[in-house]
Amino acid sequence: MKELIKSDNNYQALITQISDTYRQGQRNATIAVNSHLVETYWKIGQDIVEFEQEGKQRAEYGKALPQNISKDLTIVHGKGFSLSNVKRMRQFYLEFQKGATLSHQLGWSHYVELLKIDDKLERGF
């Protein structure tokens, strides 16, 4: 790491203060992005489930629906829509249908781990 310019204590305090502010801003941005990603994946899961439940005209898609979604959205958006992730988004919505109760303290990877727990009561802790 490069050595900082040597100066008086007031200047060093300023550098420390700015650095702390910058780091806090980075943390806040990361938390905000993670929170929005969780909300986005929940909404995508909702869209998939509502599409599936719309009736017989949708039944023709059957089990191929997640594969088709994964394929098409990967073409459109690139990463983020693997088959396993699309299935997780759907499951996420089904397991946490009250979107307002989602914790903004948890990121997507935390919810993925929670989805692996079969017991709903255990998952709640």
pLDDT score, position 7: 75
CB atoms within 10 A of CB 38: 22
Looking at this protein, which amino acid is placed at residue 84?
S
* Sequence ranges of the domains in the chain: 9-123
Mean pLDDT, consecutive 10-residue stretches, the chain (125 aa), reads: 75 93 96 91 94 67 84 94 95 83 80 84 68
Q: Tokens 């204590």 belong to which residue?
A: 9
- The answer, as to whether pTM is greater than 0.95, is no
pLDDT score, position 104: 74
pLDDT score, position 52: 86
d(C-alpha 87, C-alpha 91), whole Å: 6
What is the chain's alpha carbon radius of gyration, rounded to the nearest angstrom? Answer: 21
Sign of the dihedral through C-alpha 80, 81, 84, 86: positive
Looking at this protein, which amino acid is placed at residue 8?
D
Q: Residue 92 class from Cβ within 10 Å (0-12 exposed, 13-18 middle, 19+ buried)?
A: buried
Report CA-CA distances (Å) from 67 to 38, 46, 48, 86, 114.
21, 17, 12, 8, 23
- Half-sphere exposure (Cβ direction) of 13: Cα atoms closer than 13 Å: 3
CB 61 within 8 A of CB 72: no
